[in-house]
Amino acid sequence: MSIKEINEEIKNCEKCPELVESRSLAVAGYGDPDADVLFIGLAPGKDGADITGKPFTRDPSGVLLQEMLIEVDLSKSKDPESESPELDNSFLTNIVKCNPKKPGENNGLVNRTPTKKEVENCRDYLSEEISIINPKIIVPLGRKSADFIWWKFEIKRIMNWNEAIEKENKIIFPMYHPGFIIRGGGTQKYSRSDYQEDFSKLKEIINSLKD
């Protein structure tokens, strides 16, 4: 199966009736199909990928991630606000392919965490993406994505953020989700400059594979 074929399956998926009803569209991964680096988020954002159809675009989290990718030469795009970035040696996807919503203030809708069943319904798509792309480095973004990768690769111990571990001939390098930085970085006040350092570490790992 190719990325094009799996993307067609994703776009036509109707496994989760609630998500089919609320989504603008199903969001397949995109980028370099021969990428060394695969970034994995949890789900498309309501104000970003649910509109553009591309993970990590348009909303603040997406723009920040695109800025980081440009800085470490994983994107050929010059504009982090582009709704159709041209990635280089990287591929972006999510575990869940549709945006989960719940009622918010003033009769609006907000993002919600995907249910266990929604994750289960989508996880085969991600497994196919990993198999097809066969990345050398997997970067789960955020706790939920990291937990999924721990499960998939049977990693028993708790890893630290930005700590690389080799498993099944792949380097797993968990990073904070860009939304965490946007929201102020928690109690440790994790900043944009801290995030830039993390991406510099990632670039060092990428370069080490070329030696």
In this predicted structure, what is the pLDDT of residue 156? Answer: 78
Question: Quick one: how far is CA 26 from the chain centroid?
Answer: 15
96: pLDDT strictly greater than 80: yes
Q: How far apart are CA 210 and CA 172, in angstroms?
A: 17
For 33, which DSSP code?
T
Count: domains in the chain: 1
163: pLDDT strictly greater than 90: no
105: pLDDT strictly greater than 90: no
Dump pLDDT digits (tens) for 47-91: 999 999 999 999 999 999 999 999 999 999 999 999 999 999 999
Instruction: For the chain, state the CA radius of gyration.
Output: 16
Give the tokens for residue 116: 């266990």
Amino acid at 57: T
Amino acid at 115: T
**Region 112-122: what's the mean pLDDT?**
93
pTM: 0.94
Instruction: Say which range, 2-11, 119-128, 184-193, has the weakest mean pLDDT.
Output: 184-193
158: pLDDT strictly greater than 70: no
Q: How far apart are CA 89 and CA 73, in angstroms?
A: 9
Instruction: Say which range, 23-27, 64-68, 186-190, 197-201, has the weakest mean pLDDT.
Output: 186-190
195: pLDDT strictly greater than 70: yes
Structural domain for 157, as ranges: 3-210
User: What is the band of 211 on the pLDDT scale with cuts at 50, 70, 90?
Assistant: low
Taking CA atoms, 31 is separated from 129, 151, 155, in Å, by 12, 25, 27
Residue 96 contacts residue 114 (beta carbons within 8 Å): yes
User: What is the band of 101 on the pLDDT scale with cuts at 50, 70, 90?
Assistant: confident
**Region 25-53: what's the mean pLDDT?**
95
Percentage of the chain exceeding pLDDT 70: 97
Q: How far apart are CA 130 and CA 124, in angstroms?
A: 10
In this predicted structure, what is the pLDDT of residue 51? Answer: 94
In this predicted structure, what is the pLDDT of residue 202? Answer: 97
**Residue 152 belongs to domain with CATH number:** 3.40.470.10
Percentage of the chain exceeding pLDDT 90: 78
Q: How far apart are CA 112 and CA 92, in angstroms?
A: 20
In this predicted structure, what is the pLDDT of residue 107? Answer: 63
